[in-house]
Amino acid sequence: MDKIKISAVAYTNTKPFIYGISHSDIAGKIDLSLDIPSTCAEKLINGQVDIGLIPVASIPYVPNANIVANYCIGSVGAVNSVFIFSNVPIKEIKSVRLDSHSRTSNNLAKVLLKFYWQKEVIFTTDINAATDAIVLIGDRTFGKKNTYPFAYDMGEEWMKFTGLPFVYAAWVANRVIPEDFISEFNTALALGLAHRKELLNELPVHQGFDLEDYLFNKLDFELTDKKKEALQLFLSYISKL
């Protein structure tokens, strides 16, 4: 059988999954590449891989999209790695620079600003543009929360807005994947989550950031019914932007 091609995010939030895959027999049945979220989505959309851990805002663009795992990158409230960092309070923001790494976080910022904070702002992707605020995600946010006058954790703000958890990325396929592989894949992901303590010993220390709290308390990896409800609500808001 040809190996199944998989693209996963290279951030710390995915390390438990990668640990489980690399310590399971399934490692020999796949070709795994580690990418930034936007590249994961691009590879899946273009058919370069069969499964991707992709930003959920990209799901509508994936041909024959179907979620193939019981696990995701999510949070129930604050996630501590998906932020709007700002020089001014939300009510004073007039311009925002988006993050080129993730469609989901950019859209989440747009949804929150328009429907929750009821703000009309100018968005840019120009890295040289001077803006009131920026969207920043992943490991690049570690330890930066206190370096900006205002930091809005978008997982926390989404929960205030909707009362629901949030799904940032899900394991999505662009074709039918054999059930036996999906079962083995889920077992590998669960194995990684069960060994987060061991994983912590292998990860680099980030000054001013509690990795243990992040992996055990801020991130929530189960793709629950509530998270599926939140996903559908989020996609419905994106369609109204």
For the question of whether the overall pTM of this predicted structure is more than 0.85, the answer is yes
Distance CA 145, CA 32 (A): 32
Rounded mean pLDDT, 170-184? 97
Residues recorded for the chain? 241
Beta strands in the chain (DSSP E): 4-9, 30-35, 51-55, 66-75, 82-86, 95-97, 122-124, 133-137, 150-153, 166-173, 220-222
Instruction: Fill in the DSSP letter of residue 69.
Output: E
CB 185 within 8 Å of CB 26: yes
Q: What is the 3-state secondary structure (H, E, C) of 1-35?
A: CCCEEEEEECCHHHHHHHHHHHCCHHHHHEEEEEE
Instruction: Note the pLDDT tens digit of each residue in 147-160.
Output: 999 999 999 999 99
Domains identified in the chain and CATH numbers: 4-75+165-225 (3.40.190.10), 82-162 (3.40.190.10)
Residue range 89-147, pLDDT digits in tens: 999 999 999 998 889 999 999 999 999 999 999 999 999 999 999 999 999 999 999 99
Reported as a single tens digit per residue, the pLDDT across 40-54 is 999 999 999 999 999
How do residues 199-229 score in pLDDT, each as one tens digit?
999 999 998 999 999 999 999 999 999 999 9
Q: CA-CA distance, 132 to 134, in Å (whole number)?
A: 7
Question: For 78, which DSSP code?
Answer: -
